[in-house]
Amino acid sequence: MKDLVKKLSESFGPSGSEDQIRQIIRSEVEQYADEVRVDSMGSLICRVAPKAAAPGAAAKRIMVDAHMDEIGIVVSYIDDKGFLRFSPVGGLNPHVLLGQRVVFGNGVVGVFGTEKLDDIKDLKFDKMFIDIGARDRAEAQAKVRVGDAAVMLASFADMGCRVSGKAMDDRIACAVVIEAMRRSRPKLHEVYYVFAVQEELGLRGARTAAYGINPDVGIAVDVTLWGDTPEHAPFNVSLGGGAAIKAKDSSLIAHPAVKNLMIDTAEKNGIPYQLEVLERGGTDAGAIALTREGVPSGTISIPCRYVHTPAEMVDMGDVDACVRLLAAMVEELASPAGGGIL
């Protein structure tokens, strides 16, 4: 599975420019789906039909979501000397960018630089630029244009039981969903696996995908923060502690039936888990839950250190726990009992 994680992590796909990563994911999932389509926002939607028809009623719809976009930058201005000014796409910290490189969709590489500062605390995006090695505006414009997007240039690192790289938020969840698709097959209800766009800009792709699917229950898979590094603020999630089952974040209070089914499923199958309350931040489950008349929704989270940096780190044991929990949840929800929810 590390090969898949590496492929997804190193791929290009900032919010609003997900074409390349969508094609890579599509090539991985087509063999497991009965229908694959791309909606008008660009989200990849994979329908898996049940083994048998639901008796006496139409099949229910289960939506499983992971967002495939990543944070990045977009060029906002090119000056006479060929330096690029930029705007962030998603939640970037300017201090994280110093000394880092970016890569554009066409392969052009740039280096972050900064104007002279009296105090590093004064560093803001409007004090920064990107140097792509151009000697003037004309040479720069031959390489990139205003409106072009770029992502952090960072290689995947295999650290044994843990791995590190860019865009683990949320490519690690995409890997979890792909593997869960491979392992599970619904019995009586349809499952829609969605690889959503533009989550980093406000849960946009999941919102429109959920409206079109009109699911009866929703599960988002995403990363969460960590609480196990030196002097970190108290937080009930650690790398190596298992799948994190979300109780609450800024976008969602998990539906009690969905959350409790996750806990019961984890315990029944011997899957290590930990409970999560995230004070700041949200996932696509928040958008799914508010679709149409409302959708019972919850989130399976992968613990991840150094979120929104080029060196996000996850534990492969946690990843496996999330795969097992998601696959078991699909089996429970798509069973005759519907997990007690459908």
Nearest to 82 by CA among 133, 145, 152: 133
Q: Which tokens sit at 261?
A: 């089914």
How far apart are alpha carbons 157 and 310 in whole angstroms?
11
Whether the Cβ atoms of residue 196 and residue 42 lie closer than 8 Å to each other: no
327, containing H or E segment: helix 316-333
Whether the Cβ atoms of residue 237 and residue 307 lie closer than 8 Å to each other: no
How far apart are alpha carbons 172 and 319 in whole angstroms?
8
Residue numbers annotated as active site? 199
Whether the Cβ atoms of residue 330 and residue 184 lie closer than 8 Å to each other: yes
How far apart are alpha carbons 326 and 243 in whole angstroms?
10
What is the bridge-based pairing of β-strands 128-131 and 217-224? unpaired
Neighbours of 238 (CB within 10 A): 18
